[in-house]
Amino acid sequence: MSSRPIQIAPSVLPADFSRLGDECKRLEDAGVDRIQWDVMDGVFVPNLTFGPDVIHSCRAGVDVPFEAHLMVVNPDELVHRYVEAGCEIVIVHAEACTHLHRTLTNIRELGASPAVALNPATPSTSVRHVMDIVDLVLVMTVNPGFGGQAYISTMESKVAEVAAMIELTGRDIDLEVDGGIGPSTAPAAAAAGADVLVAGSALFRDPKGLAHAVSEIRSVAEAARR
Ligand code: DX5
């Protein structure tokens, strides 16, 4: 069982896009640990979202780290722009990288933390040979492209596999899950080994507000690991 603290990484996908800077501040004030930008190119996934300039415009307003989740077909062309925009962590999809080891190495050389995401059908063994260079592995618990989808509970076995792989490395690697994460699903994901929880809808739709949602998800996840 992971002894790493549970971290909450909100997706800004459900945020008010007309006030993204204010929304980032609201998230920081609500106690999130980092902010995840779901970058979509309309090809790797059917949706289209944030360019680097949008992210850069929000960077100075908050102190929490930014992570760019690149759901794009050509990450090698874009990685440097999201690092320059102020993203400390850059997540590329294993499925979008012909030379994943080289792409991750490039992210490190650009001064950011290299991270890799796995779609639901992609096996954990796909990242076996890059565990020495990643700082984060993201196990998608929905098929990427949109917020508000149902959590895929069969991904918990993959989370456990990745947790075991991380254990073997002895390295400090984040295990992140993304998609359908909320108070009812976070406990099982955390018990399986996840320590960074990406949530969008569950945070923004909580009638008691963002701070309540952040605190609730964190506490039920931590309780599930005791
Ligand atoms: C899918 C997105 C979503 C988003 C979170 O491509 O990555 O998973 O971040 O969505 P919710 O928390 O609303 O399921």
Which atom of ligand 1 lies nearest, measured to the CA of 181? 12
How do residues 77-110 score in pLDDT, each as one tens digit?
999 999 999 999 999 999 999 999 999 999 999 9
What the block records as the tokens of 138 is 């993201």
How do residues 35-81 score in pLDDT, each as one tens digit?
999 999 999 999 999 999 999 999 999 999 999 999 999 999 999 99
**Looking at the domain that runs over 7-224, which CATH code has it been given?**
3.20.20.70
Query: pLDDT at residue 19 above 80?
Result: yes
Give nearest CA residue, ligand 1 atom 1: 144
Mean pLDDT of the chain: 97
| Whether 22 is catalytic | no
Residue pair 212/29 in contact (Cβ under 8 Å)? The answer is: no
Residue pair 187/158 in contact (Cβ under 8 Å)? The answer is: no
Residue pair 115/136 in contact (Cβ under 8 Å)? The answer is: yes
Domain extents in the chain = 7-224
Among 38, 135, 195, 206, the one annotated catalytic: 38
| Residue 144 neighbours by CB under 8 Å, 6+ apart | 38, 40, 44, 45, 71, 93, 117, 119, 179
Q: Note the Cα 70 to chain centre separation in Å.
A: 10
Q: How remote is the CA of residue 104 from the centroid of ligand 1, in Å?
A: 23
What the block records as the tokens of 65 is 């780290």
Ligand 1 pocket, Cβ-based, cut-off 6 angstroms: 11, 13, 38, 69, 71, 142, 144-149, 178-181, 198-202
